[in-house]
Amino acid sequence: MDRIIYSVIISFVLTLALGVAIIPMLRKLKIGQNIRDEGPKSHYSKSGTPTMGGTMFIISIVLVSLSLAIRSYDFVFAAVLSTLGFGAIGFIDDFIKVYMKRSLGLKAYQKILGQIIISVLFAFFAYNNIGSSVYIPFANIEWDLGYFYIPIMVFIILGTVNSVNLTDGLDGLASGVTLIVSMTMSIIAAFAAHAMGQDGQLYIADNYKNLAIFSAAMTGACLGFLRFNVHPAKVFMGDTGSMALGGGVVAVMILLKLPLLLPIIGGVYMAESLSVILQVISFKSRGKRIFRMSPLHHHFELGGMPETRVVAMFMIATALLCLIGLLAV
């Protein structure tokens, strides 16, 4: 438990220190956010705000989780590589947007191809190290997916990473929601490690402890990033940060055999993604929109709700969903 607490505190302090150093650098390099014309008009004033700030908490998560990890490093290395891999795709996407002045960044097929490669590699790692079964929330049983395990995990990884990416649309939203989700993951991993230890499965127990440390580092990093990202934001995480967070979250949940818990504790992520899917289907099939604008946070924003209230509402919803998630396991 001490390492988990230290992980939160050290990651928080390190992210604060990196923010003080990196944000002025981003300003000097003129790495500013380009606001899409089709977005809410209230966001136009945010144009030029430094982006790619996710680099500061990625560094914290990696350094702290690897420094405080114990003995069996397989799972924490996999979680770190997932975070770095998806973060790298986001970084390239941001780089193209900022330096090549191409507002959409990577082409869709380029982005999805990179994501699929990382997803398949991670799914194979999980299959070879934890098997093909997943835990069913509330049922207290495991479901063996057999040969379907890898394609299903690839789908879950892609869905989660892109859902977190869509959630990053308001000041403090993605970082605030992920702060609560990662804290919940740390608690679950710590209890799972204790249970495995009592069963004599020391290899799994140590790996679960390291996942708890990794999740705690993510919690501290998001908390530190919020210092600069709350409204009005001094920096945005960019795709660099949102994809890295998505990669970290889904890696932990898969390695804990709990990917089916993601729709519960990550309910806000899922709602954001689902709102986009439904909006596209409705507009293409009926020529009508369901929401004022998607993702979902823009629907509330265009309805007259202040940005800070939307963020608070989504964080409260996440806290309640995470409590339900804890009951589920």
3-state helix, strand, coil in the chain (%, to 5): 75, 5, 20
Average pLDDT, the chain: 92
pLDDT confidence tier of residue 71, bands split at 50, 70 and 90: confident
Rounded Cα–Cα distance for residues 160 and 316 (Å): 20
Strand partners, 144: 133
pLDDT confidence tier of residue 206, bands split at 50, 70 and 90: very high
At 258-269, the pLDDT tens digits run 999 999 999 999
Q: What average pLDDT does the segment 73-97 reach?
A: 95
Comparing 203 with 324, the larger pLDDT belongs to: 324
At 272-305, the pLDDT tens digits run 999 999 999 998 999 889 999 989 999 999 888 9
**Which CA distances in Å does 149 have to 125, 127, 156?**
12, 7, 10
Provide the pLDDT for residue 40: 62
Rounded Cα–Cα distance for residues 230 and 172 (Å): 5
Strand partners, 142: 135
Q: What average pLDDT does the segment 31-49 reach?
A: 63
Q: Does the structure show a pLDDT above 90 at 41?
A: no
Q: Does the structure show a pLDDT above 90 at 46?
A: no
